[in-house]
Structure 1
Amino acid sequence: MDGYYAFMLVATAFVLMMTVPALALFYGGMSRSKSVLNMMMMSFTAAAIVGILYVAIGWSMGFGGDGTFFANPFELPWLDGVTTDSYIGVFFQMTFAVITVALISGALEGRMKFAAWVAFVPVWAVLVYFPMAHMVFSCTDDSLICGRIGAQDYAGGTAVHINAGVAALVLVLLLGKRLNWPKDKMRPHNLTLTMLGAGLLWMGWYGFNVGSIVFSEESLADESVMVEQFLSETGRTFGNTTLATMAAILGWLLVERMMHGKATSLGAASGIVAGLVAITPAAGAVNLSGAVAIGAIAGALCAWAVGWKFRLGYDDSLDVVGVHLVGGVIGTVLIGVFSTAEGAGGVDGLLYGGGVDSLVDQVLGVLVAVVYVGVLTLVIGLAVKFTVGLRLDPEDEVNGIDLAEHGESAYDLHTGIGGGVSSGLAGNAPAKAFPTTTKENQS
């Protein structure tokens, strides 16, 4: 047991690293230079707000007891009644809540008020993520997706990726398009940061997937059986996570080359994330060949799906919908095709003679997640829109959200004001006194 606790401490730290700094770097590099600090701030503030909320009521809502949509938020407030040796599991789940909320921010680059983000995050976490975590991860008899429908989700295809992807799509539609999009290309300003962030996400994802093992009652009663399950299941999830990601890189680059004539570094980084997203729900359910198939399919389809925003006219800035929503649906549904009885769920999918029952369960799980998250996010988004206001002023959007909302510039290239309004470089000058109309600031 001591070894398991040490393992979970490392896994928890790895998953937290996925938000700060990995996601902040990944999204920050894909942002425009005038938006990079705000994008990173959205990840950091999501971590701070959701982390505290999770300890206050989130664990209780997710894992406090029975409930169709959520458990009693006041059964275990501030972990009252939770033994300290259980804190590792609590904080592991907390990191899932943190990254789910932070993932949404990639769709909103450069145009959402920071105050609106700060208002949206806690309400969405309480009304959407904490209940989804209960429905998927708690798996009590009453919990909807896991308990009643019976859909498998090893580490968060529905609760994390479909959840974030649907919320991102709703907010994008409420916010509207960035000024001059899609006429202006709005290319990533620093792909080196993006590649580094993608690599750190891949590394952190081993904590995400491999750390999500749930022990059977038999294992909990017999330590030798527990060790056997631990070694078997962690080996499976580690291998599946690795191969699915590799296959997704190749799938993405192949489609990218066929569609655009180039295989790009941004495509490789995006393929990494697409593969990781798709294997997340299936990591414990499929074998190695199934993981390769899911990764390759996800990489190819997500590469194709990111272009939907141009055809359908929604401005998903950093492709949260095309990668997380589409990848999450692919991975969750394909469990019904590629799962094996030797896996964590003990269910044969369609390809292994299990019939369509598992596939139907997986599709129903996806539909519940999409409807629940879509409706609640719309209500929350409208409430924020008509109170705090969602959209940045057009002039501030042109000059850059970093300067408008934070009084800072990411790079001290021409103006000499790379620090903030309180830094040694900028002194105490007000933000409005800074030069904001050079061509470099417009990019």
Structure 2
Amino acid sequence: MGRKINFIVLTGLVLVCLLLGTEYQYLETAQGIDSGDTAWMIVASAFVLLMTPGLAFFYGGMVTKKSVISTMLQSFVALGVISVLWVVVGFSLAFGDSVYGIIGNPFTYFNFNNVTVSPNPAFSETIPFLIFALFQLKFAIITPALITGSFAERIRFRSYILFMVLFSLFIYSPLAHMTWHPDGLLRKLGVLDFAGGTVVHMSAGIAALAGAIYLGKRKEPIERPANIPFVILGTGLLWFGWFGFNAGSALGANTDAVIAFANTNLASAASMITWIFFDRMQHRKMSALGACIGAIVGLVAITPAAGFVTIGQSVFIGFVAAVVSNLAIRWHERTEIDDTLDVFPSHGVGGMVGMLLTGVFAKDVGLVYGETKTFIYHLLALCVVAVVTFFGSLLLYKITDLLLRMRVREDQEHRGLDASQHGEHLL
């Protein structure tokens, strides 16, 4: 079965390459393009792409030495798989003509047809539609990569690739459509998600929880992280890339981008400091690993609110997210669920905190401004997204497992995934 699926995948890639030879009229004269906005979006897209290698270092440093390469590659390979998938059909499913506000028509931009260098007023009037599509691609790349931390050290590589494709098609794309498309169901209800707290972090965190439950516990839990400097490097790359992630979501070089840029930095800084001092209050060491996790949690929590809140409110969001996620990790450690790198307590819970606090602080429409509608819809959306993503992911894990057994054999797990899956070793 595995060899047949490999052949099908290779055949599909050949056909895709042939299809990509189609002329797309990229050279037409584009009107209304702002060179400053376009330049910023090219840079922001590159920033966000860098986050995935950063995530590879972040995760790779936290696992055991015999699975570092495998863990890093699980993030890195998303750059290739999702890029092709997004061009063929993913972008259409996320941003194509709306079907009941839930998903896009797969034929609207199939194979990037009609994705030109002219602006598309439905999404942005000042940048080429092509750069908008490529910017959104980077979000689609990192989301399944985030999930990998929950089942690190026990998943077969080919099975993970299949799950990544299914997740992107059936969970990520509909969520992106409902949240960011002008006719999306959640967007029309007034749910705010500036840069992906719901679409990226909540969905990844909840899918990670489902994966940890489905695959079960490791035989040999991590006793000592392989390389803490890798984790610090990964955190730095993620923090750097997050400026493109959040400020780029303003879709131009404008005041919203500046506000999001400032809020991103301050929330992460506040969360990092809160995390290490909260650890000390609990009689734990002020560790480098704790500082890195705290910084990431702050980045996660500010993402949905980045362009909607003040600097003071962003600091508060970082503070609250650090305390809640820290407590969630301590609670999680006492359960039987083996989320290897605490993806759910960090990204899932951090995303939920950010989403709810967006409903509290969002300018003019939040609870602090006397409005209740936005917060109620955020609470409702949180519940619906959590349930649909959790059970939808469980179903996708089951389907993947039926097609390609997901969990490695016990002897392969003992040898480590670097050797058993890739025939490589960390020096």
User: Normalising by structure 1, what TM-score?
Assistant: 0.84
Equivalent position SS for 1:307 = helix
Partner residue of 2:369 out of 340, 346, 352:
352
Matched, 1:117 2:160: yes
Which whole-Å CA distance do the structure 1 matches of 2:182 and 2:347 have between them?
Answer: 23
Which whole-Å CA distance do the structure 1 matches of 2:400 and 2:331 have between them?
Answer: 27
Q: 1:88 to 1:214 in 2, by over 3 A?
A: closer
Which whole-Å CA distance do the structure 1 matches of 2:277 and 2:238 have between them?
Answer: 22
Give 1:214 deviation, angstroms: 4.9
- Contact 1:35 1:401 (8 Å CA) reproduced: yes
- Contact 1:12 1:95 (8 Å CA) reproduced: yes
Which whole-Å CA distance do the structure 2 matches of 1:368 and 1:48 have between them?
Answer: 31
Q: Which residue of 2 aligns with 1:161?
A: 201
Give 1:282 deviation, angstroms: 0.4
- Contact 2:172 2:203 (8 Å CA) reproduced: yes
Which whole-Å CA distance do the structure 2 matches of 1:198 and 1:40 have between them?
Answer: 14
Matched, 1:75 2:75: no
- Give CA deviations for 1:155-178 in whole Å, capped at 9, x if unaligned: 001100000001101111110001
Amino acid at match of 1:16: L
Identity of aligned residues (%): 40
Equivalent position SS for 1:178 = coil
Equivalent position SS for 2:394 = helix
Aligned residues: 383
Partner residue of 1:36 out of 62, 68, 93:
68
Q: Residues 36-435 of structure 1 correspond to what in structure 2 (within 5 A)? A: 36-67=68-99, 68-84=101-117, 85-140=128-183, 143-147=184-188, 149-181=189-221, 185-214=222-251, 230-341=253-364, 347=365, 349-354=366-371, 356-411=372-427
Which whole-Å CA distance do the structure 2 matches of 1:124 and 1:171 have between them?
Answer: 12
- Give CA deviations for 1:267-290 in whole Å, capped at 9, x if unaligned: 110011000000000001111111
Give 1:261 deviation, angstroms: 2.6
Amino acid at match of 1:129: Y
Amino acid at match of 1:172: A
- Contact 1:34 1:410 (8 Å CA) reproduced: yes
- Contact 2:67 2:418 (8 Å CA) reproduced: yes
Q: Residues 12-27 of structure 1 correspond to what in structure 2 (within 5 A)? A: 12-19=45-52, 21-27=53-59
Which whole-Å CA distance do the structure 2 matches of 1:51 and 1:369 have between them?
Answer: 25
Which whole-Å CA distance do the structure 2 matches of 1:113 and 1:81 have between them?
Answer: 37
Amino acid at match of 1:351: V
Which whole-Å CA distance do the structure 2 matches of 1:23 and 1:259 have between them?
Answer: 28
- Give CA deviations for 1:9-66 in whole Å, capped at 9, x if unaligned: 00000000000x2011111111110010001110121221111101111111111122
Q: Which residue of 2 aligns with 1:223?
A: none
Which whole-Å CA distance do the structure 1 matches of 2:155 and 2:330 have between them?
Answer: 22
Which whole-Å CA distance do the structure 1 matches of 2:193 and 2:348 have between them?
Answer: 15
Give 1:135 deviation, angstroms: 0.7
- Give CA deviations for 1:200-248 in whole Å, capped at 9, x if unaligned: 1000000000000158xxxxxxxxxxxxxx5321121111111101110
Amino acid at match of 1:22: G
Equivalent position SS for 1:408 = coil
Which stretch shifts more, 58-67 or 155-164? 58-67
Which whole-Å CA distance do the structure 2 matches of 1:318 and 1:186 have between them?
Answer: 12
Which whole-Å CA distance do the structure 1 matches of 2:359 and 2:167 have between them?
Answer: 30
Which whole-Å CA distance do the structure 1 matches of 2:114 and 2:275 have between them?
Answer: 47
Equivalent position SS for 1:212 = helix
- Give CA deviations for 1:170-206 in whole Å, capped at 9, x if unaligned: 111110001044xxx5321100000010011000000
List runs of 5+ in structure 2 lacking aligned partners: 1-33, 118-127
Which whole-Å CA distance do the structure 1 matches of 2:401 and 2:353 have between them?
Answer: 32
- Contact 2:37 2:251 (8 Å CA) reproduced: no
Question: Cα RMSD (Å) of the superposition?
Answer: 1.3
Q: Which has the larger radius of gyration?
A: 1
Q: Which residue of 1 aligns with 2:6?
A: none
Amino acid at match of 1:173: I
Amino acid at match of 2:237: L
Q: Which residue of 1 aligns with 2:20?
A: none
- Contact 1:252 1:302 (8 Å CA) reproduced: no
Which whole-Å CA distance do the structure 2 matches of 1:82 and 1:350 have between them?
Answer: 39
- Contact 1:255 1:304 (8 Å CA) reproduced: no
Which whole-Å CA distance do the structure 2 matches of 1:135 and 1:187 have between them?
Answer: 41
- Contact 1:251 1:298 (8 Å CA) reproduced: no
Give 1:302 deviation, angstroms: 1.1
Q: 1:83 to 1:180 in 2, by over 3 A?
A: closer
Q: 1:260 to 1:50 in 2, by over 3 A?
A: farther
User: Runs of at least 4 residues of structure 1 off by over 3 A?
Assistant: none
User: Normalising by structure 2, what TM-score?
Assistant: 0.87
- Contact 1:254 1:300 (8 Å CA) reproduced: no
